[in-house]
């Protein structure tokens, strides 16, 4: 193989790897968002006591 073809192949492998990592990170972020507990959220802030239903 000549150098141009080798560099081209390495670039393709790097792009595929970056795509897979990006998809995995996005999937994990969506999983964490869905995993939020359901129920009631109680918080105390400058406006006093706040109760929200999730």
Which pLDDT score is estimated for 33?
84
pTM greater than the 0.85 cutoff = no
Q: Is the pLDDT of residue 36 over 90?
A: no
Which pLDDT score is estimated for 1?
59
- Higher pLDDT: 18 or 42? It is 18
Which pLDDT score is estimated for 10?
93
Read off the DSSP letter of residue 44: E
Q: Is the pLDDT of residue 5 over 90?
A: no
If you average pLDDT over every residue of the chain, what do you get?
88
3-state helix, strand, coil in the chain (%, to 5): 60, 20, 20
Nearest to 37 by CA among 50, 22, 20, 52: 52
Phi, psi for 41 (deg, rounded to 5): -110, 125
């Amino acid at each position: 193989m000549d150098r141009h073809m080798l560099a081209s192949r390495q670039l393709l492998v790097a792009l595929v790897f970056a795509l897979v990592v990006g998809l995995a990170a996005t999937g994990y972020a969506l999983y964490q968002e869905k995993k939020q507990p359901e129920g009631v959220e109680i918080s105390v802030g400058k406006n006093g006591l706040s109760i929200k239903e999730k």
